[in-house]
């Protein structure tokens, strides 16, 4: 068995999510259970969450809002109109330095994207926070990945 396990999510896990998000670099209000629940209810959807554990400790989470287009294409989006970001949140490697953080983060992303592939989504759009810097793994897995810059007018 791998040291990285993944499992589904239940509403009883919301307190764990909030505690985890509060201790991550990417974590903002947009990743908390209250916000996710509010978005899902306003869109008449249910939050689909993917969890990754390393040696029994929660190490990564990705939340999606699944939906359908034209009643045949399963789509998923990590955010909605009232949310600028969402998607992947992961803990820091229990140590220091980018040298150890990168492979740790990539293993979490690999584990979470493998779970997503099993859902057979036609399209997944993930809008990560600005603190999520390395998108290389998605490209290596054949996903299209690009960074969009949003600018606000000062008028």
Residue 130 lies in a domain: yes
Q: What is the dihedral of CA 30, 82, 64, 37, to 10 degrees?
A: 70
Residue 145 lies in a domain: no
pLDDT tens, position by position, 58-98: 888 888 888 877 777 888 888 887 778 888 888 876 666 66
Q: Rounded CA gap, 135 and 146, in Å?
A: 8
Three-state DSSP class for residue 144: coil
In angstroms, the first-to-last Cα distance of the chain is 57
Q: How many CB atoms lie within 10 A of CB 77?
A: 21
Asked, for residue 153, whether it belongs to a domain, the answer is no
Q: How many domains would you assign to the chain?
A: 1
**What are the start-end ranges of the E strands in the chain?**
4-7, 48-54, 57-69, 73-77, 88-90, 123-125
The answer to whether residue 150 sits within a structural domain is: no
CATH number of residue 77's parent domain: 3.40.630.30
Query: Which SS3 state, helix, strand or coil, does residue 91 take?
Result: coil
Global pTM reads: 0.78
Residue 152 is predicted with a pLDDT of: 44
14-67 pLDDT, tens per residue? 788 888 888 888 778 888 888 888 888 888 888 888 888 888 788 888 888 888
Task: Tell me, yes or no, whether 155 lies in a domain.
Answer: no
Kindly state whether residue 107 falls inside one of the protein's structural domains.
yes
| Boundaries of domain holding 21 | 4-140
The pLDDT > 70 percentage for the chain reads 73
């Amino acid at each position: 068995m791998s040291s990285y396990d993944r499992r589904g999510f239940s509403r009883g896990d919301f307190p764990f999510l909030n505690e985890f998000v509060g201790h991550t670099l990417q974590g903002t209000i947009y990743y908390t259970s209250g916000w996710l629940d509010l978005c899902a209810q306003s869109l008449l959807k249910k939050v689909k969450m993917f969890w990754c554990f390393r040696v029994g400790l929660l190490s990564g989470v990705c939340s999606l809002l699944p939906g359908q287009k034209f009643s045949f294409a399963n789509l998923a989006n990590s955010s909605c109109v009232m949310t600028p970001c969402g998607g992947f949140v992961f803990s820091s490697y229990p140590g220091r330095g980018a040298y150890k953080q990168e492979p740790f983060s990539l293993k979490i992303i690999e584990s979470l994207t493998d779970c997503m592939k099993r859902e057979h989504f036609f399209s997944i759009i993930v809008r990560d926070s600005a603190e999520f810097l390395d998108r290389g793994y998605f490209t290596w897995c054949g996903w299209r990945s690009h960074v969009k810059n949003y600018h606000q007018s000062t008028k």
